[in-house]
Structure 1
Amino acid sequence: MLPTPDTSHVPYQRVYEPAEDSFLLLDTLSSPSETSFLTSRFGNQQPAPLILEVGPGSGVVIAFLTANAHTILGTSNLLTLAIDVNRYACTSTLQTVSRAIADSSQQQQPESQSAGGTGTGTFLTPLQGDLTTPLRKNQVDVLVFNPPYVPTEELPSPPSPTTTTTTTTTTKSKGENTTFAQDSHLLELSYAGGKDGMETTNKLLDSLPTVLSDRGVAYILLCAQNKPDEVKERIRAWECPPLSSSLSVDRYSWKAETVGFSGKQAGWEKLQIVRIWRDFSA
């Protein structure tokens, strides 16, 4: 079993604490079926794939992917990145990834030892921004999103413009003073999803065709009240315009399948991980 990154430094009064949804992502991404899929898609590919987590919170998922890159994707020649509207989450993510890489380098996996490398990817930076807006089109090879999926009457307002610039965040968050209302608002951003819990997720889904590379794949977490079966059917019906790259394929289709499932809790709290990708088998 791959180790869970340390998040003991994270200020949980302002940043979402790893919970069942976070651990479901770790289990799914490191499962034999997904490591096989990802390795076949990216293990021997050039250029180096770009892995993005949107809304990393504590950074536990992107740290896990970065520290165990060779084991999960079959290569350590990859770049990872994270984007969050919460600047404290950006700071926490940077620390979590740095610690996970250091720990992994000290306890190398057998697979990476046989390959002659450390097995870890290269983390670029956390960016403060809204979803994928800081990125150029069609650059992301693996996108992971644990969205604010809880149905609520409305979405919380974004942070003030003075704190939402797209920039690397290095502030030491634990040493800053914030009010209880400010902390509560930051946490609300991590779970409040508006109607059906899907308002933020739908924005991200709609952007996927122009965010993912032609070989790109996305992993999106949904709960039962998000109506995941309807979401998957909608994705499968997406249009398939010609590809922008030089891939020698004429036809493809969009696929959306559940690859991870948490069925231990009743009602809408049941969670699942949906994998979304272009299928070229046609």
Structure 2
Amino acid sequence: MLPTPSTSHVCFDRVYEPAEDSFLLLDTISAASETAFLHNRFSQASSSTPPLILEVGVGSGVVLAFVAGNARNILGRNDALTLGTDINRFACQAASETVHKATKDHGPSVFLDIVNGDLASSIREQSVDVFIFNPPYVPAKLPDFSHHDNYNAVPTGHKSTSFEQDSYLLELSYAGGEEGMVVTNRMLGQLPRILNCVRGVAYLLLCAQNKPEEVKQRIRNWGTGWMAETVGRSGKTAGWEKLHIVRIWKEPSP
């Protein structure tokens, strides 16, 4: 079993704490079927260019750190480049420490940075080889973003954040708007632009209320070669798999 990165340094009052969804991502990406798929796609024999791994909404950094620290087992190579983004500045700081420690302790992957920004808006076109997104997927009203600039840092003259700030920052991690899909739909709109069109692969977490079968069909309708399949599932509730990990990739034209 591959080691799970430590997040003991993270303040979970304002940063999403790793939970069932996080661990489902770890289990799915490190499963034999997925590592075989990824080894075939990213082996050094097939390309000398190091793969760039991007996690959007990196949170505590546990998922990105896991892939970075175990790149040899997961991708079949040690020279991965890792990058994250998060709209929550405190999450960026926490994730940076998580990934730094994981790469120092377990592998020589190169950690680039955690960028404080909106989804993948700062990412260069066609640059991402492995994309990971555990979105805010709960069908709940979106946070009031008018507070964001004030709530995204410790207030001037104060030593810590307020309860209202912490509540807002945690809302960013779970509240997904109508059907839990508002933020995910925005990210899916950016994905074809940033994903490497030759070897890029994405992992997207959805819950049952997000209607994963419909989401997968929408992705397949992007055009020739686009594929979307469920590669990981959690337990069932009332006959529904609660969580799905969807792999998204593009097959080369015949």
Give CA deviations for 1:14-49 in whole Å, capped at 9, x if unaligned.
Answer: 000000000000000000011011111112123111
Query: Structure 1 residues 210 and 186 mapped into 2: Cα distance closer, same or farther (>3 Å)?
Result: same
The DSSP-based 3-state class of the residue aligned with 2:228 is strand
> Amino acid of the residue matched to residue 102 of structure 1?
K
Query: Structure 1 residues 155 and 237 mapped into 2: Cα distance closer, same or farther (>3 Å)?
Result: farther
> Amino acid of the residue matched to residue 243 of structure 2?
L
Q: Distance in 1 between matches of 2:168 and 2:218?
A: 32
CA contact (8 A) 1:66 1:121 kept: yes
**Which residue does the alignment assign to 1:128?**
116
Give CA deviations for 1:90-146 in whole Å, capped at 9, x if unaligned.
Answer: 011011112222332xxxxxxxxxxxxxx4311111110000011111110000000
**Which residue does the alignment assign to 2:174?**
191
The DSSP-based 3-state class of the residue aligned with 1:193 is coil
Q: Distance in 2 between matches of 1:163 and 1:46?
A: 43
Query: Structure 1 residues 126 and 264 mapped into 2: Cα distance closer, same or farther (>3 Å)?
Result: same
Query: Structure 1 residues 203 and 10 mapped into 2: Cα distance closer, same or farther (>3 Å)?
Result: same
2:222 is the alignment partner of 1:227: no
What is the Cα-based RMSD across aligned positions, in Å? 2.1
How far off its partner does 1:265 sit? 4.3
The DSSP-based 3-state class of the residue aligned with 2:200 is strand
**Which residue does the alignment assign to 1:69?**
71
**Which residue does the alignment assign to 1:255?**
227
CA contact (8 A) 1:236 1:254 kept: yes
The DSSP-based 3-state class of the residue aligned with 1:5 is coil
**Which residue does the alignment assign to 2:105?**
103
How far off its partner does 1:77 sit? 1.3
**Which residue does the alignment assign to 1:182?**
165
> Amino acid of the residue matched to residue 180 of structure 2?
G
**Which residue does the alignment assign to 2:4?**
4
**Which residue does the alignment assign to 2:32?**
32
CA contact (8 A) 2:151 2:165 kept: no
The DSSP-based 3-state class of the residue aligned with 1:140 is coil
How far off its partner does 1:281 sit? 6.3
Give CA deviations for 1:197-256 in whole Å, capped at 9, x if unaligned.
Answer: 00000011111110101121110000000000000011101134xxxxxxxxxxxx1000
Find runs of 4+ consecutive structure 1 residues off by over 6 angstroms: none
**Which residue does the alignment assign to 1:277?**
249
1:142 counterpart (111, 123, 130): 130
> Amino acid of the residue matched to residue 52 of structure 2?
L
CA contact (8 A) 2:26 2:66 kept: yes
Most deviating of 260-269 and 134-143:
260-269
Query: Structure 1 residues 129 and 159 mapped into 2: Cα distance closer, same or farther (>3 Å)?
Result: farther
How far off its partner does 1:268 sit? 6.9
Query: Structure 1 residues 150 and 73 mapped into 2: Cα distance closer, same or farther (>3 Å)?
Result: same
Q: Distance in 1 between matches of 2:129 and 2:114?
A: 17
Q: Distance in 2 between matches of 1:94 and 1:194?
A: 28
Q: Distance in 2 between matches of 1:21 and 1:137?
A: 28
CA contact (8 A) 2:62 2:95 kept: yes
The DSSP-based 3-state class of the residue aligned with 1:127 is strand
TM-score, normalization: structure 2? 0.92
Point out where structure 2 has 5 or more consecutive residues left out of the alignment: none
Most deviating of 145-154 and 194-203:
145-154
Point out where structure 1 has 5 or more consecutive residues left out of the alignment: 105-118, 241-252
CA contact (8 A) 1:223 1:268 kept: no
The DSSP-based 3-state class of the residue aligned with 1:213 is coil
What number of residue pairs does the alignment pair up? 248
**Which residue does the alignment assign to 1:151?**
139
